[in-house]
A = this chain, B = another copy of it.
């Protein structure tokens, strides 16, 4: 199964955006170049998957500021949009279950986050283990692609890593609107959702996320564990965007 990273592209021209597809090439935006080169660490000649958010996917090859389209892919079990989960690393082995469940639910990318209240500093062996779990779960759930598990990064670095208008941060305390009432399905091809550690995000983290364009949301009136929250969030987003 292909272990390929994904980015969302604009395949149709509209009032707001030009199509990035030009014959067999994808013209990459500066944000996409940054994401592919710096966040995903792809190099010239590396392959990735371009998704247009409307159910079409292409296998593409990075060529500097452009990408060459190699073939149109047939996908039936993938979501039409790209979901990135930013998750503060939970205690113990809880992250294994998060990777497994969120892969089943269609996540495209998981970014493990070192937050103010994160206790764990995972070893490289852990990262290998998570990638193996993602690969197995993708196969068992009959997905076409394996989600990307990024190397753990700091919360502040993560806040500026993902370029999309639809960014949410889940917080159990405080009177934030329910995620279900905040998801808007219009034109966005990628979603970033952040879930916190045991004890929740710090106030400063929430403030910084809001400054970075994240909308704080609730997942309901009960307090969820750090390992339950991402599964619930993914369940709601997957269902909302499933065609």
A residues whose Cβ falls under 8 Å from a Cβ of B: 76-77, 97, 100-101, 104-106, 140-143, 178-180, 219-225, 228, 231-232, 235-236, 238-240, 242
Q: A105-B220, A232-B105, A236-B235 are in contact. Are A140 and B225 (CB under 8 A)?
A: yes
> Do the beta carbons of B236 and A220 come within 8 Å of each other?
no
Q: Which of these, B100, B105, B236, contacts A222 with CB under 8 Å?
A: B105
The listed residue (B76, B178, B228, B236) touching A236 by CB distance below 8 A is B236
A228/B178 in contact, CB under 8 A: no
CB distance from A58 to the nearest CB of B (A): 20
Across the interface, A235 reaches (CB within 8 A) one of B142, B221, B225, B232, namely B232
Complex Cα gap A140–B239 (Å): 27
Contacts of A222 in B (CB 8 A): 77, 104-106, 141-143
Known A101-B231, A179-B239, A236-B239; 8 more pairs at CB < 8 Å: A77-B222, A97-B97, A141-B224, A142-B222, A180-B240, A219-B239, A220-B238, A231-B232
In angstroms, Cα B231 to Cα A11, docked, is: 35
Are B239 and A106 in contact, with the CB atoms below 8 A? Answer: no
Q: Which of A77, A106, A231, A232 gathers most chain B CB within 10 Å?
A: A232
Complex Cα gap A239–B179 (Å): 9
Within 8 Å CB of A231, what residues of B? 101, 228, 231-232, 235
22 contacts between A and B (CB under 8 A): A77-B221, A77-B222, A97-B97, A101-B228, A104-B225, A104-B228, A105-B228, A106-B220, A140-B225, A141-B222, A141-B224, A141-B225, A142-B222, A178-B239, A179-B239, A180-B239, A180-B240, A220-B242, A231-B231, A231-B235, A235-B235, A236-B239
CA–CA, A141 to B225, complex, Å? Answer: 8
- A114 CB to closest chain B CB (Å) equals 24
Q: In the complex, which residues of chain B have a beta carbon less than 8 angstroms from the beta carbon of A224?
A: 104-105, 141
Complex CA gap A106/B224 in Å reads 10
- Determine which residue in A143, A222, A235, A236 has the highest number of CB atoms from chain B within 10 A of its CB, and name it: A222
